[in-house]
Amino acid sequence: MRRKIVAFKIGYKKVYKSLKLDKTKYIICVVGPTAIGKTALGIKLANYFDTEIISADSRQFFKEMAIGTAVPSSDELSAAKHHFIQHISITENYSVGDFERDGLELLNKLFKTKDIVVVVGGSGLYVDALVKGLDYFPEVSPSIREELNQKAIEELQVLLLEKDPDYYNKVDINNPHRLVRALEICIGTGKTYSSFLNTGNGSRNFKSIYVGLEADREVIYDRINRRVDIMVDSGLLHEVEQLNDYKHLNALQTVGYREFFNYLKGDWTLEFAIDEVKKNTRRFAKRQLTWFRRNEKIHWFNYDMTIDRIKNKIDTLIKTSK
């Protein structure tokens, strides 16, 4: 375990030292809740700045998961160059640390010819890893994780609420992997998982501009419900059926798949499973907003704001930051 950590730190330093960027290099982070329109805005900004897009949506990394993760369409992918879209398999282990390392390597290449790169995604942890660096977590006994893995998800939820209510309120409480990860730190260190967050790995040799998309809750919920209906009509159930033998993998412990696995087991009706996908996606969007609202650097725009207003704001921010 220690050898792996040391190897990663050495590899990270090597990548970071090679990232000799001018201070006029920027990444524009397009963030916000699911189904709000981040992909469309990211493409418009990439075209405006003549650049490429780094996806920071961890659910869209996997080749086998397209419909349930709302992977950009072929037209959208051809409208602007995207990176980290369906680039790995669900059977591969790919951590946020791997993404940080690969993202920095890619930025190193892109900044040789681009002054600006657009980052799009609703996975706040992955955006933060690229912008600020990973948080440091001490090693804890593997036996703690083994014991936690034996508990039902309901037990894990209650335990996390007791030990770290702050993190409980922003994490996906239906993701057992995230719950176990937080709890093993709480139990192994006697401190909250939250206390280790936002420590980062130091400054970056580029500047970051955050653009957030928002809308009234009713609008967000309606967009989510309509997106789920479109996913179902596009063959989401068939996609889940093809992945049923892999439902134990961490990549598939996520909304849009977990609910249909319950249908395939015969525990739920199809109608109930679809309703649960909508409900859990709405909850997920709420947690995304909770995460991003804590970042005071985000410049928020209504989801239907004209692109010119957003571009003008970014241009102004770049001019005044030099």
Amino acid 268: pLDDT:
98
Spacing of C-alpha 167 from chain mean position: 16
pLDDT tens per residue across all 322 residues of the chain: 334 333 333 343 444 444 444 458 999 999 999 999 999 999 999 999 999 999 999 999 999 999 999 999 999 999 999 999 999 999 998 888 899 999 999 999 999 999 999 999 999 999 999 998 877 778 889 899 889 989 998 999 999 999 999 999 888 888 888 899 899 999 999 999 988 876 655 578 899 999 999 999 999 999 999 999 999 999 999 999 999 999 999 899 999 999 999 999 999 999 999 999 999 999 999 999 999 999 999 999 999 999 999 999 999 999 998 6
| Delimiting residues of CATH 3.40.50.300 domain(s) in the chain | 2-135+198-321
Stated pTM of the model: 0.79
Q: Tell me the backbone φ, ψ of residue 302, rounded to 5 degrees.
A: -65, 145
Whether 133 has a binding-site annotation, put simply, is: no
Closest alpha carbon to 134 in 98, 188, 88:
98
pLDDT score recorded for residue 196: 82
The confidence score (pLDDT) of residue 137 equals: 79
Do β-strands 116-120 and 298-302 pair in parallel, antiparallel, or remain unpaired?
A: unpaired
The terminus-to-terminus CA distance of the chain in angstroms comes to 43
Residue 239 pLDDT: 98
35 is an annotated ligand-binding site residue = yes
Cα torsion 27, 255, 80, 48: sign: negative
CATH number of the 2-135+198-321 domain: 3.40.50.300
- Which pLDDT value is given to residue 319? 92
Listed in order, the ranges of the chain carrying CATH 1.10.20.140 are 142-196
Amino acid at 87: H
Q: What pLDDT is stored for residue 322 in this prediction? A: 67
Q: Is 38 annotated as a binding residue?
A: yes
Q: Residue 319, exposed/middle/buried by CB under 10 A (0-12, 13-18, 19+)?
A: exposed
Which CATH architecture fits 142-196? Orthogonal Bundle (1.10)
Q: Over the chain, what HEC string results? A: CHHHHHHHHHHHHHHHHHCCCCCCCEEEEEECCCCCCHHHHHHHHHHHCCCCEEECCHHHHECCCCCCCCCCCHHHHHHCCEECCCCECCCCCCCHHHHHHHHHHHHHHHCCCCCEEEEECCCHHHHHHHHCCCCCCCCCCHHHHHHHCCCCHHHHHHHHHHHCHHHHCCCCCCCHHHHHHHHHHHHHHCCCHHHHCCCCCCCCCCEEEEEEEECCHHHHHHHHHHHHHHHHHCCHHHHHHHCHHHCCCHHHCCCCCHHHHHHHHCCCCHHHHHHHHHHHHHHHHHHHHHHHHCCCCEEEEECCCCHHHHHHHHHHHHHHHC
Q: How many CB atoms lie within 10 A of CB 3?
A: 7
Q: 165: annotated binding-site residue?
A: no
190 is an annotated ligand-binding site residue: no
